[in-house]
Structure 1
Amino acid sequence: MPEPKSAFDATYPCDFYEPADLFEPDQMYTIPEIGRLLQELEPDAEVDPDTEAVLIDWAIPWVVAHAEDMVVGEPLEEDGPGYYGVAPHAIDAADGTDDPA
């Protein structure tokens, strides 16, 4: 059910990161790690299972929305997670270069 804005003590801008701002260019991350990064936590920060579920719920649509600026790595183990990183063209766009490498 919608709530009036007056019900909240404060509201904040809805700012989201771009992959080039969030990821280290030479690193690949799992969905749970991306969820932590989106909340300004370290990728390996300990969180309780309920919090991790919420972080994953936030991370999945963020990955889908930014797919064109990301690369995907196959799982390192047969039953392991997939990994995601920033695409080279997104890094170049973020730093103002036109190098497609």
Structure 2
Amino acid sequence: MPVPKSEFDDLRPLAFRDPSEVLDPDEMYTVYEIARLFQGLDPGTDVDPETEAILLDWTIPWMVYHADAFVFAEPASDADPGLYGLAVDGGGAETDSE
């Protein structure tokens, strides 16, 4: 059920951090690790499935919104998740050039 705003003493603007503030530019991460980092947790933190689902609910739209800031790598096998990292310039995919 909706809750009246008047019941809260502290209402803050919704603000998301830039991917470069969350990720190390030299690392690649699973979406699960990014979800933890996005919330200020260590990427190896153990969380219950319900919490993980909530973390992913916030992280996936954030990643889509900032898609130009990410690169991805295919998983080592079909059983492994893909890996994501920051694009070299933070604003587009890395490319090989001669």
The total of aligned residue pairs comes to 92
CA distance in 1, matches of 2:38, 2:14: 12
Which structure 2 segments of 5+ residues have no match?
Answer: 92-98
Amino acid at match of 1:44: G
CA distance in 2, matches of 1:17, 1:79: 30
Runs of at least 4 residues of structure 1 off by over 2 A? 1-4
Matches within 5 A, 1:21-36: 21-36=21-36
Structure 1 residues 3-62: Cα deviation after superposition (integer angstroms, max 9, x where no partner) = 322122322232211111110011111111111111100111111111011111111111
Find out whether 1:6 has 2:10 as its counterpart.
no
Matches within 5 A, 1:15-94: 15-90=15-90
As a proportion of its length, which structure holds more helix?
1
How does the TM-score come out when normalised to structure 1? 0.81
Instruction: State the percentage of identical aligned residues.
Output: 49
How does the TM-score come out when normalised to structure 2? 0.83
